[in-house]
Every structure is written in C-alpha cells, then in structure tokens.
Structure 1
Amino acid sequence: MDETMPRMTLSTAFTTLFGVRHPIALAPMGGSAGGALTAAVSRGGGLGLLGAGGGHPDLLARELPILADVEEPWGVGFQTWATELRAVDQVLEHHPAAVMFSFGDPSPFVDRVHEAGVAVLLQVTDLEEAGQAVDLGADVIVAQGTESGGHGALHGRSTLPFVPVVVDLVAPVPVLAAGGIADGRGVAAALALGAAGALIGTRFQATAEALVDPSVAEALVRGRGQDTERNRILDIARSSRWPSKYTARTLGHTYLDRWRGREAELAADPAAARKAYDADVERGAVPRSPVWAGEAVDLVTDRPPATALVSTLAAEAEAALARAAGR
C-alpha cells in the first residue's frame, strides 16, 4: 500500500457494535482456536472467538483463563448440535463480548446469552436458517459458504452469491461473510458484497498461536485449494458424532481415496470402521486428525503471529478497496 495515500477507515456496523478496529473475526475452530489465538486476534484489533466445540468443561477450564487479562472484546463459539446450557453458562461466567452458535438449533441458548448482556452471533448456511436467526434476535449473522474449511452444509451455496442474498434478507442485522477468505482482498470482497466484515478460519490456523501440530501448519502452507474436498468419509471412519447433514472440507487424505463413493459401505459397520482407522493411525499409515482447510488455502504461505496478521489483512483490504475505487 502506498504510504502517501490517505488510509481508508474500514468502519462497519460490526466494528461499531463491538468497538474493534477491523472488520475481521476469528472463526471459532475447535482444536485450533484456543485461548492464545483468540487473545492474539482480539489484541490485533479483530474479534477473537474461542473454539469451544461442544463445550467440554475441561477444555473451557483450560482455555478461558488465558483470556482473563485481554482488555479487548473477545468471544466463544459453539457447535450448537453438541452444546448444553451448562457449557454456555460456564462461558458467560467469564464475561465474553459475544457467543456464537453454528450448526443446529440455537433457540435454547439465545435468551440466556442475551440476558447476560452478551451479543449473539448465529452462523447460517441457507436462507431458512437466516430467517430463523433474525427471528431469534441475532445481533450478527454469519453467512457461511461451501468454500469454508471444516464442517458446513451438505447442500450449501458458494460465498459469492450467498452473502449478498443474506445481507438483503436480514437487513439491518450486520452480516459476516465466511468461506474462502484468506487475505485482505477477500475481506474487501466481503465488504463489497454488503457484509460488515469477514469470519476467517483456515488462514488463522497457520499462525504462531494456533493449537495445531506443526505438521498441520506445514500442510496448510503447502496446501492447494484444488486438493481440498468436502465429504463425510473421515467423520464416518473416526466415529464422529457430527450430523450427516454437515460435511467437512479437508486436504487430501488416504481414506478419501480409499472410500470415495463407498460411504454407505463404510458406514454399515461403524465399529469396524473406527477400529481400522485407529489401527492405521497407530502404524502411521494415516494422520490422527484430518487437516481442515478451505478452498483459499493457496493463499496461506507462512505462519505469522496472529496479531500482526490481523493488521496485514486490514491493510490489504484497504488497499484493495482503494484500487477498486480508482484511487
């Protein structure tokens, strides 16, 4: 970016709502977005969201205290289908600025979060879910496209056409775009589509603070979007409890090649499938966990500190918007 050029201020309904500097949020990735990464993103001027998964009390007891000294706004994200009210209450005791729910019916939890004076983010994968999110009183709606890494809707839509339709449907509720965003140009595109910011996952997995094995970070840096695949095979083989309506996008994996097109056969005997998978893990034939990665993984080329990455993404977005405006 030309340092002589006046910098644009990326102020949106999202940045105003939370009092953050940049329209960037960390996707609450289970197993990756721990307390350290959440804190780093918030200190960098975005909204860090701790990945709580189903809300296991040991995980929350370990990661939430890391955020105790973070003065900037931060939040926690749950897998709604796996969450219980006790986990939400455990989080609320730590006074987050936001709680996010994804994948499932959030209605049992929304009022409890609002009663605590905390903002509710609801992730949606289709227009019916978007309408329900408005009815439930979501403070922010996250529109997730199928390019995203990790789990998403089996019959979802791509981010580019999905986000503006959601924006129009739910206005004036602010929308975050999610899926296939891994640099500042993607953030700029989200803003151009009418979103108030971007929720970013894969890019933040490859940062110094992410709770991932070094081999995972290396795989992300080497990864290519064309090598990602959305499927249920690895959930079946690992006896994951994820509902069948959600598939997961990962980098290539031996089990994908072995079982592609034969999911029903693999699912016919779940116990045997898990036993075989565990045996392959033990002998080193397959990694213990898949590498969740979105289609924009090509743009992941290093593993910087997350705080610096937030600033970089914001500066890139400003530059992209300035170019588009012909400045």
Structure 2
Amino acid sequence: MSISRNAFLATFSHITRAGITGTNARVPRITKPIVSAPMNGWSGPSLVAAVANHGGFPVYPIGYFTDKNKIINELRSILPLLKDSELQKDEQLGSEGGASFLPYGVGFITFWLDRQGPELLLSLLEGKADDPNRRSSPRPPAAFWFSFGDYKPYLKLIREHGAAGTKVIVQVQTVREALEAQQENVDVIVLQGTEAGGHGAQRVSPLMTLIPEATQALKKKASEAGSKLAMPAILAAGGISTASQLAAVQAMGASGAVVGTGFMPTHESLGPQKAKDLILQAGDGSESTVRTRIFDELRGFDWPRGFNGRVVRNLVTKREEEDLRERGLFEQKGVAAFKLLKEDRTGAKQDWERVVKEQDYDLLPLFAGTGVGMLTKQVSAAEFIDQLLDEGK
C-alpha cells in the first residue's frame, strides 16, 4: 500500500523526517497511518512506546485525571521505552520552526478538562513531560487530541503557548461538527462512527456513510474558501480491525484509522489478561456489544447527554435491556447501584472497589467496538499494525 501522499503522514512530516545529522541513528517516526486510540486503563506507556517504535502514532489517554503530577510522571516514563536512545539526548529530533516534539499525542476528554482547569494542558505545552534533566528546550507531545466537548478555548491556549508545529486532533461524530472543526483550522479530524468502542454519540452514522458525506462536505468548503481554509487530514474510527477495513475507509476518503479495540488484547496494553481473553472470545460484534449509558450512571461520571459507550454485553447490560432492574437505578450512583444489580448473585461482592479488584466483568464495563469479532489471537502491537497494513505475511 502506497502512503507517499498520505495526508495524515504529511501533517506530521516534521516527525517523519526526524533524524540526527552525522549519525546512523534511527528515531521513532510516524510512517504508518495507524493511530492507537487514547483508551483509559489500556493505553499505558508500554503500548504508547510500542506503537511509536513501529511507525504508528500513539495517543496517551489523560482520562478522568485529578492529579497533574501523576500524569506528567507517567508520560516521562514513556521516554526510556522508545527504542532509540537518541531521543533521550539533546539533539533536536522531529523539529519544526526550531521546536522539537515527542512522537506521541495526548488525548483529553474535553468536558473533564473543563472541570479540572487548563493547568495540565499548559504544563504539557511547556514540555513538562520531557526529561527534566535535559539541557535543551523541553519537547512537548506532537499533538493534542480533544473529544466530547467544546475544544475551542484550548485551541487558543495551544496557539498562544504551544510551539510552532504543535498539532491539534479533534474527534467528531457528525458532518456539522467536522465542518466546525475545519473552520477552526484543526490539523486532523477523526470521524467516529457508531461502530466504535468506548464513548461516542448516541446518534451517529456508521462509517460507510459518515466518511464520504463528511469528506465531500469538507472538500467543498475548502474549495469555496480557497487558501483561507485548509482541507484537514481525515482519520476514521470505529470497528476497524483488519487490512481490508483500513483499505475500505481509505478508499472512502480517510487517510488512515484510529484503532482502539484491536490494541486492547495486545501484549503491551495495560488491561488485565482476563479482560484481554474476554475480548478475544467475544465473537460477533453486532451480538456481543451494545451501546449504553448505564455504566456512566453507575460510576457517577456524569457524562453530558447525547453520549454513551459501546461495551461487551454482560449481566448489567442484560438486566438493562430486559428491564429487570429497579426503576430508580439511573438515579443511583456508584456502589449503591451495583448492590441493586447484585442482589440475586451468590457470593456477590460488597462494593465497587471489590468488583474492580476481582475483575468481575459480569459487572464491570469492558468497552469494545463492533470489530471485536475479528480479533481471535493475542499478538504484539507491532504484529497487529502489520496485520492492518497487510505486511509481514
């Protein structure tokens, strides 16, 4: 597959061209149009490094953060895992306009960032995730990803405080939102279809219609505006687990794919082996997964209306679907709601913490997309990327 004219790779060409003058050293480069999604509880330093080391672009999930310093320390732990030790030195790697970047992005749940304030974003823009002992200018992440909320105030911060060349990725679920992101001159738009695992819009088209409709509208708007409005790189997110699916979304107008579920059962992901096994055993994604808000209600995360999450079906979703739960369940929070669901279970755990500790996926949410049925074998992140690109066979 030729990727020489890939719009996504061109967006990150200042990373792709990275090298060290006068040496034969190699550095992690973005050479493959594969983005590992920012999955809370799954995309840790090992997975981020593994994807970067193999030419993909990983996005680290900020998630439901409350401790800025903890996030920064974990991001710093990625650096030694990158296969090229030159990244730990003072050479300018992946530079644009005199700045240099770390070969990954960080992903924010935008409404959660609103609640916590912009201090973490500003710290990352200042390069605080880089090695604090580095003598040269600290390097920020190459990109910032925003989903689920109004990202526009943070664009202003990035453009005022970020280094030239810092990229912005925005995930959207509708054509209208894609056009709004284009108007804001974001660098990459992720079109998330209903097939996607994890959180997304309750009302959203499948990628088969969302990609061509959105790309057509974006191209038309860019053509009408002339040089005043650019055509952003487009990525597709939702149920993509195979090379044929990647080829299909590219044929419809996407430059590449954002993949989450496919990376979950890889050796390097953070998830427990029990959960990885359940992913590999799930089978037909249309039968084994369902979209629901119930876990957000149970955990008290207070997601905005209009969003829900696709999960692997379990006891909780079964009781929701069959309407066997108490009518007031959605008004309950956390432990109390789980106790309601567990009343008919022998040896049920006593609280939410115990459920988490014992990995009881009859009750815990296991977020996954419809492509889960095509995942049957545990592999490394590099092997999975090769499978997506139909390489190494």
| TM-score bucket of the superposed structures, by smaller chain | 0.7 to 0.9
Change (3 A) 1:136 1:274: farther
Residue of structure 1 equivalent to 2:95: none
- Between the aligned partners of 1:132 and 1:222, the Cα distance in structure 2 is 40
Letter in 2 for 1:64: L
Shift of 1:244: 2.8
Matched, 1:77 2:98: no
Residue matched to 1:322: none
Q: CA deviation at 1:308?
A: 2.8
Q: What is the DSSP-based 3-state SS (H/G/I as helix, E as strand, rest coil) of the residue aligned with 1:133?
A: helix
In 2, are the aligned partners of 1:251 and 1:293 still within 8 Å (CA)? Answer: yes
Question: Paired residue for 2:96?
Answer: none
Say if 2:61 is the partner of 1:51.
Answer: yes
- TM-score, normalised on structure 1? 0.88
Shift of the alpha carbon at 1:59?
A: 4.4
- State whether residues 169 and 189 of structure 2, in contact with CA within 8 Å, keep that contact through their aligned partners in structure 1: yes
Q: Which runs of 5+ in 2 are unaligned?
A: 17-29, 88-101, 130-139, 220-230, 342-348
- Alignment partner of 1:37: what SS? helix
Residue number among 146, 154, 165 corresponding to 2:213 in the alignment: 165
Q: Please state how far the C-alpha of 1:58 moved relative to its aligned partner.
A: 4.9
How far apart are the structure 1 equivalents of 2:235 and 2:169? 9
| From 99, 114, 123, the counterpart of 2:144 | 99
Equivalent of 2:72, from 61, 73, 87?
61
Output the TM-score relative to the length of structure 2. 0.74
Q: Which structure 1 residue ranges, 5 or more long, are not aligned?
A: 1-6, 320-327
CA distance in structure 1 between the aligned counterparts of 2:240 and 2:338, rounded to whole angstroms: 33
Given the alignment of the two structures, is residue 308 of structure 1 paired with residue 359 of structure 2, yes or no?
no
Superposition deviation, residue 169 in structure 1? 2.2
State how many pairs are aligned: 312
Deviation larger for 16-25 or 64-73: 64-73
Residues 136-169 of structure 1: CA deviation (Å, up to 9, x unaligned): 2210000000100011001111111001111122
Match of 1:42 in 2: 52
Give the CA deviation at 1:245.
1.6
Match of 1:199 in 2: 258
User: In the alignment, which of 111, 116, 123 is matched to residue 90 of structure 1?
Assistant: 123
Question: CA 1:263/1:31 → structure 2, altered by over 3 Å: closer, same or farther?
Answer: farther
- Change in CA separation of 1:285 and 1:217 when aligned onto 2, cut-off 3 Å: closer
Using a 3 Å threshold, how does the CA distance of structure 1 residues 111 and 152 change in structure 2: closer, same or farther? same
Counterpart selection for 2:309 from 230, 248, 256 = 248
Q: What letter corresponds to residue 256 of structure 1 in structure 2?
A: T
With a CA cutoff of 8 Å and minimum separation of 6, indicate the structure with the bigger relative contact order: 1
More helix by share: 1
CA distance in structure 1 between the partners assigned to 2:326 and 2:64 by the alignment = 25
Which residue of 1 is the match for residue 194 of structure 2? Answer: 146
State the Cα distance separating 1:10 from its structure 2 match: 5.7
Q: Does 1:269 align with 2:302?
A: no
Q: Any conservation in 2 of the 1:231–1:247 contact (CA below 8 Å)?
A: yes
> Could you tell me how far apart the structure 2 residues matched to 1:146 and 1:102 are?
15
Aligned residue among 23, 26, 33 for 2:36: 26
**Alpha-carbon distance, 1:131 to partner:** 1.8
Partner of 1:15: 9
Alignment correspondent of 2:240: 181
Tell me whether 60-69 or 122-131 shows the greater mean CA deviation: 60-69
Aligned partner letter, 1:279: Q
CA RMSD of aligned residues (A): 2.4
The structure-2 alpha-carbon separation of the partners of 1:304 and 1:39, relative to structure 1 and needing over 3 Å to count, comes to same
One-letter code aligned to 1:227 = S
- The structure that has the greater radius of gyration is 2
Which deviates the most, 56-65 or 187-196? 56-65
Higher mean C-alpha deviation, range 273-282 or range 108-117: 273-282
Q: Distance in 1 between matches of 2:77 and 2:177?
A: 33
Residue of structure 2 in register with 1:323 after alignment: none
Contact preservation (8 Å) 1:238, 1:274: no
Report % sequence identity.
32
Q: Is the 8 A contact 1:45 1:311 kept in 2?
A: no
**Structure 1, 97-106 or 65-74: larger mean CA deviation:** 65-74
Partner amino acid, structure 2, of 1:312: Q
Alignment match, 1:223: 282
